[in-house]
Each structure stands twice: as C-alpha cells, then as structure tokens.
C-alpha cells in the first residue's frame, strides 16, 4: 500500500496546548453470530485497566526567523527566547498489577513529568522505565497502594480481517471512552518506521487515544492504538495499532533492561518477485550489498543472494526480513535459506547487535 500522505497521518496524541485528546469469557452477545454485538460486558471487564496519561513538557516559545539569522536582529530574538510548559494527554493500559503501564513513546518521550490517572480518579506519578523510538512504545511504572487491574496480551498473529475489536482510551482528554469496530486490514505500512506492521481498524481513534489498547472479543490486548489517517485531525475510520506480538517483546526488553537491543546482519536488501527465483516458485528478498566485517559477511552471504526463509519461516518482503532479524537477540544464530546461482542453500549466521540507524 502506498504510504499515506504525511500531512494526513497523525499520531493520536492530544496536546492540550493546541486542543482544548480479568476474565477471558466473551459476552454472550459476541458469541452469537448474526446478532448485533453488545460490548457492555467487555467494556466493564477491561476499562479498570485502561488509564489516562497527562504529561508536562517544555518547549521553546520564540523561534528565530531563518531570514534574520546572522543579522543584528538575531541577538534581539535570542535574548527573548524562553521555555514554556506545555500539557498533553494520552492513553495507556496496565499489564501488571504491580504498576507497569504501556503507552506510546510519542506520548511521554519528551515529558518532564508524567501522571497516570486510574478509572476511579486516583492520580499516580509515573516514571519512564524505557522507551523505543523505532516502534513508538514506552513502559511506565507507578507505585500503587494495592494491586491494580491489569489486562493480558493477546495473539495478534491470529487476528482476522473482519473480526470485532474494541478501542479504549482518553480521546480529547475524555477518559474512560470505548469505541468498537472491526479489523479492516493487517500488515499495513504507513511510513512510520522500519518495523511498520500495523493493524488497521475502523474503531474510532482520536487525538488522546495514543497508547491505548485495542482489544479482541475476550478482553485481550491485540494492539496499541498509535496513529490515524485523517485530513481533518479527527477520526475518519482509519486507525492504526501496533500489533501485540511486536509490542510484547519490546515491552519485555524495556522492563528487563530499560532499552531494546536488536539483531543485525549488515545487508542492504530489496524485494524480488517470483520471476527472480528458480521456477518462479518463491518470492524472496535479494541482497543488494553486504557490509564489510558484518555478521552477513563473516557467514559468507553475498550480493545477489535471494533470501527465502529465516529459521524455516518464509520471507517474502524486505520488511519481514528486517523484523525477523531485529527480533533475534544479538549473539544468537539463525538459519538463512537462500537461492544462489539457481541452487538452494542454508547458512548459519550469528546475529550481531544493531547499531543506531542500521539496517
């Protein structure tokens, strides 16, 4: 899918300086095919674990006009620059009764202060355990007086287009809001980063919903609401959620280490069609170049090799290859199946640590 125009792709985060944003038993109504679903039981089940997030950050109040830089007027503007406190709002959800909260990185990434509000109105100061810009995820920690309500992760890999979902969060600062819809598509690439693999939904997502959960019919989190496609800035029925299968591994690393380490091969790749493989039986990813001294070079991978599988799982796109390698812990060995000069080969590659910005 072509990337959505940048001007219309918005993070569902409400900046208030600009905008005045468990049990596992499905409800009987959801289980009855052919009837209009009733989400009341599901909403009652999951809402206690959904939180509002208020952030306080600082921004420069006066920018120096580009045409005045290097002129005597630059000093005038520079002396009058200051810092202004800006409030924002987002959403999150509790994954551990001890007080671990998941949200988006763009909600808390530049925050000087973060406050988490529970559904009963309790406000708790939060500390940022860790963030990951590449997947736009963050993990917070609060210190509750008792155990918090929490929701479990679901399996986003089993999500089907057309199934019912429920989005919950804090749109426009209106906490405790739920909306329903269906999964409109899977595997969407929207130009947000190298690990794009979004679930698309028509459940209403608005500014302030960022970081909130997308639930399946049994109250499991299958996605984290992240962005919307909208010319107006409000919901147009096209929202995007980071799949839980990707988010869960990132969050586990943030909880354990406070940061995310990713695997790296050191190759530049591009997609190839079936016509590029012997007999046209497979799609794959062709290696365009191999970085000298990289894990791929040490293992003997070459320019022109067509990678068709990692650890026995088919690889048909460059993004799938990047995600597969990145999700492998550095130091671990993976089996790379490839086509070279018309013959299939399998090679063992010890994955390296992904440097900043590397592919």
DSSP one-letter string for 53-80:
EEEEEEEES-PPPGGGTTSTHHHHHHHT
**What gap in Å lies between CA 23 and CA 25, rounded to an integer?**
6
Taking the C-alpha atoms of residue 240 and residue 237, their distance in angstroms, rounded to an integer, is 10
Q: Evaluate whether 215 touches 203 at the Cβ level (below 8 Å).
A: no
CA-based angle 224:127:178, to the nearest 5? Answer: 30
Per DSSP, 162 falls in state T
Tokens of 75: 């000093």
Beta carbons within 10 angstroms of residue 208's beta carbon: 29
* Residue 280 CB neighbours (<10 A): 10
Catalytic residues: 106, 136, 210
- Closest CA relative to residue 316, chosen from 305, 329, 306, 302: 306
Say whether 134 sits in a helix, a strand or coil.
coil
Residue indicated by tokens 């550095």: 330
Tokens of 180: 């329903």
d(CA 304, CA 338): 10
């Amino acid at each position: 899918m072509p990337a959505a125009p940048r001007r219309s792709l918005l993070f569902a985060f409400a900046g208030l300086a600009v905008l005045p944003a468990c049990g596992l038993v499905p409800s009987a109504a959801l289980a009855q095919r052919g009837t209009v679903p009733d989400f009341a039981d599901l909403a009652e089940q999951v809402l206690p674990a959904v939180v509002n997030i208020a952030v306080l950050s600082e921004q420069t109040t006066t920018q120096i006009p580009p045409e005045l830089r290097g002129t005597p007027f630059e000093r005038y503007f520079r002396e009058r620059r200051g810092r202004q406190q800006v409030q924002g709002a987002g959403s999150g959800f509790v994954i551990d009764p001890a007080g671990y909260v998941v949200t988006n990185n763009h909600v808390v990434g530049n925050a000087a202060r973060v406050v988490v509000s529970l559904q009963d109105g309790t406000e708790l100061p939060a500390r940022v355990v860790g963030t990951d810009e590449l997947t736009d995820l963050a993990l917070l920690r609060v210190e509750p007086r008792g155990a918090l309500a929490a929701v479990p992760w679901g399996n986003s890999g089993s999500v089907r287009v057309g199934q019912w979902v429920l989005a919950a969060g804090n749109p426009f600062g209106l906490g405790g809001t739920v909306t329903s819809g269906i999964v409109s598509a899977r595997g969407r690439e929207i130009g947000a980063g190298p690990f794009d693999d979004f679930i698309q939904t028509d459940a209403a997502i608005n500014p302030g919903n960022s970081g909130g959960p997308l639930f399946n019919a049994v109250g499991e989190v299958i996605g984290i609401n992240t962005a919307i496609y909208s010319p107006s800035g409000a919901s147009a029925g096209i929202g995007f959620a980071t799949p839980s299968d990707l988010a869960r591994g990132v969050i586990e690393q943030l909880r354990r280490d406070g940061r995310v380490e990713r695997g790296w091969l050191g190759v530049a790749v591009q997609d190839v069609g079936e016509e590029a493989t012997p007999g046209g039986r497979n799609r794959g990813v062709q290696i365009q170049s191999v970085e000298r001294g990289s894990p791929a070079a040490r293992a003997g991978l070459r320019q022109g090799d067509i990678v068709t599988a990692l650890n026995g799982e088919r690889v048909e796109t460059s993004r799938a290859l990047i995600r597969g390698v990145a999700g492998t812990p550095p130091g671990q060995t993976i089996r790379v199946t490839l086509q070279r000069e018309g013959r299939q080969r399998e090679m063992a590659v010890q994955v390296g640590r992904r440097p900043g910005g590397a592919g």
